[in-house]
Chain A
C-alpha cells in the first residue's frame, strides 16, 4: 500500500516535472510549426482535394511519422537517463518503491505529457481544416482515430526510447539514428523489411481505422487488430525489459 502510494507520487512528480521544462515548450513549438502549413493550405488552395483527405495524409506523414517519434524520443530517453546524468536518481532509488516501480512510474508519468504534446497540434490542425473547409463535426471520427493513433504511438515509441535511456549512456544519438534511419528508411523499403519497424504497424493500424486520403493504401495485408496486438506487445516488452535492466543496474 505504502509502495503503491509512493509510486503514484512518482507518477505525479514525473508528469509535472516533464510539463514544466523548457523541453516541453520547445516540443510544443515544434508541434505547432506544421500548423502554419495547414493554415496556408486551408486559406490558399483551391484544388479539388477533399479537406479531410489532406488532413489525414498530412497528419499521418508529418505528425505521426515525424513529430510524434521526436516527442517520444526526447522525453522517453530522458526519463531515467536524465536522472542518472543529473545525479538526482540517488533520491529516487532511496524512496519507498522498487526499481521496477520506479521505471513504470516514470513511464506512466511521461505518457500524458507526450500525449498532450502530439494530440494538441493534431486537434488544432483539424480545427483549422474544419473551420475553413468543411465544418468541424462532420469528420470527428477521423480526429478520434488520429488521437487514438497518437496515444498508441507515444506509448510504443516512449516505451522503446525509455528502454534505450536505461540501456545506453547516450541514448539520444542512438535514438535519432533509430528514428530517422531505421524507422523512416526501413519502413519505406519494399517487401517484408518494413515488418521490423514500429511505423509499419502504426500505419497498418491507421489503414484499418481511417478511410480518408491515402491512409487506406497503407493496408499491408495484416489486420488492424493484428497490428494493434504487435504494437501492444512491443510496448509491454520494452517496458518489461527496461524494468529488468534497471532493477540490476548500478546507477552511479
Chain B
C-alpha cells in the first residue's frame, strides 16, 4: 500500500526524514514516535503536500505529489486544528465533497452521511464555535466524504478527552472492518496499541522498528511511564488513580495538571474514559512526557 525507499526531506539544514524506508501493508498501521520524529513530515509526503528531496515514494502504487487521481483514493485528516471556521459543518463538508467532483445533491448527502459516521449531530453554528472533539470529528468526516481506500490520520487523538478518544478508536476500528486501510500517527504508544496491530516506530527522521505491537510492548513491559494529565481537580484525580492502583506515583504540577507514573500503561489508558464518564473527572489532556517516550525508544533500539 505504501512503499518508501530511502526517502529524505530537509527543511533547510534541519532533517525531516533521513533515508527513510518502510513498507506499509493493509489494515491499520500506527506511526509512533516522539515529537520531531518525522511522522507529520512522512504523512505530508504521503498526501502530496510536500515533495521529497530524495528517494522513491509510492502510495497505492503511485507518486503522491500533485496527483489528483490518487487523492480520490486517499482521505487525509491533518494534525492541525485549522478548518474553514466561519462555515457550518454541513456547508464545509458539502464544499469539500464537491471539490472531489460530486454534484451538489450528492455532496450534501455525503456530508450528512459522514457526520453520522463520525457521530456528530448537525450543527448550524460555525465550526469556529465547536469544541476540540467536535472539530476533530469534522476533520475526520471530511476525509471520508469520497469513500477513500486509504485513510491517513495525523495525530487523530491529540488534545481530545478520553471519552471522545474511545469513540474515535471505535470509529477507526469500524472503518477498518469495512475494508478501509488506515495509517495513523501518534506519540502515544499505548493509544495506538488499542487499535493498530502493526506499528512503525520512528525517531529523528528514521524508522527504528516495524512490526507487531505486542512485540514492542514486551520490550518495554517493566518500564515506568510518566504521563501528564490536565484536569481542574488534579489532586482528587491523583488520589483516585492511586486508590485504583493504576499509578504508583502522582505529583500535582500546577492547578490544572498532574504528573503520574505507571508501570501498567495499558490499564491506565484503558481506565481513563471511566474516570471521565463515570467518576466525573474532567480530563482535558493526556500527554506522555516526551523524554519518557524517547527513553522507551532508546530501550527498543538497544534491544
Contacts and interface: CB of A to CB of B under 8 A. Distances in A.
B68 A97 contact: yes
A164 to B, nearest CB: 22
Given A87-B78, A250-B49, A2 B72 contact: yes
A75 to B, nearest CB: 17
A250 B101 CA distance: 24
Nearest to B47: A94
A99 B48 CA distance: 10
Interface string A83-121: 000111111111111110100000000000000000000
Contacts of A2: 72, 100-101
Contact of B50 (A10, A12, A17, A250): A250
Contacts, number: 85
A95 B68 contact: yes
Per DSSP, chain B at the interface is loop
B51 interface: yes
Contacts of B101: 1-3, 5-6, 9, 96
A91 B66 contact: no
A3 B68 contact: yes
A91 B96 contact: yes
Contacts of A88: 82-84
Contacts of B203: none
B78 A248 contact: no
A98 B67 CA distance: 7
Interface in B99-151: 99-103, 142, 146
Interface string B72-104: 101010101011101000000001101111110
A96 B82 contact: no
A94 B74 contact: yes
Contacts of A92: 99
A252 B50 contact: yes
A95 B99 contact: yes
B216 to A, nearest CB: 29
Interface residues of A, number: 31
A95 B100 contact: yes
Interface string B35-52: 000000000100111110
Contact of A95 (B44, B80, B84, B96): B96
B15 interface: no
Contact of B72 (A12, A20, A96): A96
A252 B102 CA distance: 27
A247 interface: yes
Given A247-B66, A250-B50, A96 B80 contact: no
Contacts of A251: 49-50
Given A94-B71, A95-B68, A10 B99 contact: yes
A71 to B, nearest CB: 21
A101 to B, nearest CB: 8
Nearest to A248: B51
A99 B64 CA distance: 12
A39 interface: no
Given A93-B48, A94-B47, A13 B99 contact: yes
Interface string B45-71: 001111100000000000000101101
A12 B98 CA distance: 10
Nearest to A3: B68
A93 B76 CA distance: 10
Contacts of B48: 93-94
Given A250-B49, A252-B49, A90 B99 contact: no
Given A13-B99, A248-B51, A250-B51, A95 B86 contact: no
Pairs of residues from A and B, 10 with the lowest C-beta to C-beta distance, nearest first: A2-B101, A9-B98, A87-B82, A250-B50, A95-B99, A6-B101, A5-B101, A96-B100, A94-B76, A90-B78
Interface of B: 44, 47-51, 66, 68-69, 71-72, 74, 76, 78, 80, 82-84, 86, 95-96, 98-103, 142, 146
23 contacts: A2-B72, A5-B102, A6-B101, A9-B98, A13-B95, A20-B86, A88-B82, A88-B83, A90-B47, A90-B49, A91-B84, A91-B96, A91-B142, A93-B47, A93-B48, A93-B49, A94-B47, A94-B71, A94-B76, A95-B68, A96-B69, A96-B99, A99-B66
Given A88-B84, A96-B71, A252-B50, 5 more contacts: A2-B72, A91-B78, A92-B99, A94-B47, A95-B99
